[in-house]
Amino acid sequence: MGAKFAFRAYFLNFHSFVVIEVACHEYGHHYHEPMVEAVENGKVYRWTPQHEYRQIKSDVTNKSDTTSGASSFDELEQFEEEINPNLLKQKASWWMQYRLLLTRMMVQMWRDKSYMKLRFYMNIILAIIVGGIYKGVGDDASKAFFNFGFAFTIIIAYLYLPMMPVLLQFPTEMKFLKREYFNQWYHLSSYYAALICSKLPFMFVLASIYLIMVYIMSGQPLELFRFGMLFLIAFLTAMTSESLGLLISSRLSLVNAMFIGPVVAVPLILLSCYGIGYGKAVHIHPLMRYLMQLSYLRHGMEGLVAALYGYDREDLHCPDTEVFCMFRKSQFLLIILGFENLNYVFSVSCLVLFYIIFTTAAYLMIRHRLKLRTTNNVIVQYATHLLVKHLNFASYNY
């Protein structure tokens, strides 16, 4: 069967080469016209049933253009059908494109075993280090400030761990996205939705491993609802950091994205802990308070503190070696830190809002980068020209 198929393929390819050579007049000019007449100028109905053939021939006769000498109406309709932009769109539905792209991305991620092992082992090692440093500080009234440092390490970890891989991967993936998108393989929205969702399962598994280890090792209260609140804040912070990395890498090259990402993270970190420990008696300028609200890490920090010390937590344990524990009451610690008016729901809402803003902005940046058409507005064209000329950081093909 294989030999027969191979012979048939060779036979067909051989005849195709002969047709090309005859069409190029390599055997002379006297074979060209008989070939054109034999195929009726591209309309061969040899394998068409007789009743359909008669119907086609009658339609061609009725639609012939006898006044202008141009091609027949059926040829014009065929030409219009070929250039109809609606026929160039993808035949698969949006949902089918999403499922296929999601499956492809999950398979690609699963095949990259070295990358998965690296992230898995890195989270475990980091959890062991952090848990060892803050061992037993969760219920120790004499080490309450150390527990605040424990919450801060969670924020820092879920700033860099989700963001750095995106800054490294996505600029390289843009060249494949351009090729497939310009070939009309799929919609950009289906690709972007699959890209977002493909990262969530592995991120959820890594977050569960890391947070369970550090939560138990640091001696936090073994209350399920508190761990759930802490996990929600940490996971939202990780998702927002990843969307921020996607926003940065959607327009920048690989080198520039790896540089801009950590630079942008510095003011976010500083604003997240600004004013903490001063107490409510210290005046903070309204502008600084506004800037503090622009850092999603600040809302993540407030959410973690609310999960650990809010909602009527019991008094902390004071060791026998200590004469007096000032921060045995969790509410007094919140007042000293300036967190007496914490609102967990507000922190969650702000993190969700930042995630939506970063994700939408990244999608718009990618769509603008893939967009071929330009606007007719002269002002917009001039502004775009200035930005591309002086502020174009994506000109390097890495």
Q: What is the pLDDT of residues 279-326, one digit of tens each?
A: 565 667 778 878 888 889 999 988 998 888 888 788 777 877 777 777
Q: What tokens does 196 get?
A: 């977002």
Task: Report the pLDDT value the prediction gives residue 379, as an integer from 0 to 100.
Answer: 73
Task: Report the pLDDT value the prediction gives residue 250, as an integer from 0 to 100.
Answer: 86
Beta carbons within 10 angstroms of residue 118's beta carbon: 12
Task: Report the pLDDT value the prediction gives residue 159, as an integer from 0 to 100.
Answer: 92
Tens-place pLDDT, residues 176-198 = 888 888 877 888 889 999 999 99
Task: Report the pLDDT value the prediction gives residue 354, as an integer from 0 to 100.
Answer: 95
CB neighbours of 185 closer than 8 A, spacing ≥ 6?
A: 90
Task: Report the pLDDT value the prediction gives residue 6, as an integer from 0 to 100.
Answer: 42
Which runs of consecutive H residues, i.e. helices, occur in 183-253?
Answer: 188-217, 224-249
Tens-place pLDDT, residues 74-84 = 554 554 545 55
Tens-place pLDDT, residues 228-240 = 999 999 999 999 9
Low-confidence stretches of the chain (pLDDT beneath 70): 1-19, 39-91, 275-283, 372-378, 380-398
Q: Quick one: CA dihedral 152, 153, 158, 164, positive or negative?
A: positive
Task: Report the pLDDT value the prediction gives residue 374, as an integer from 0 to 100.
Answer: 56
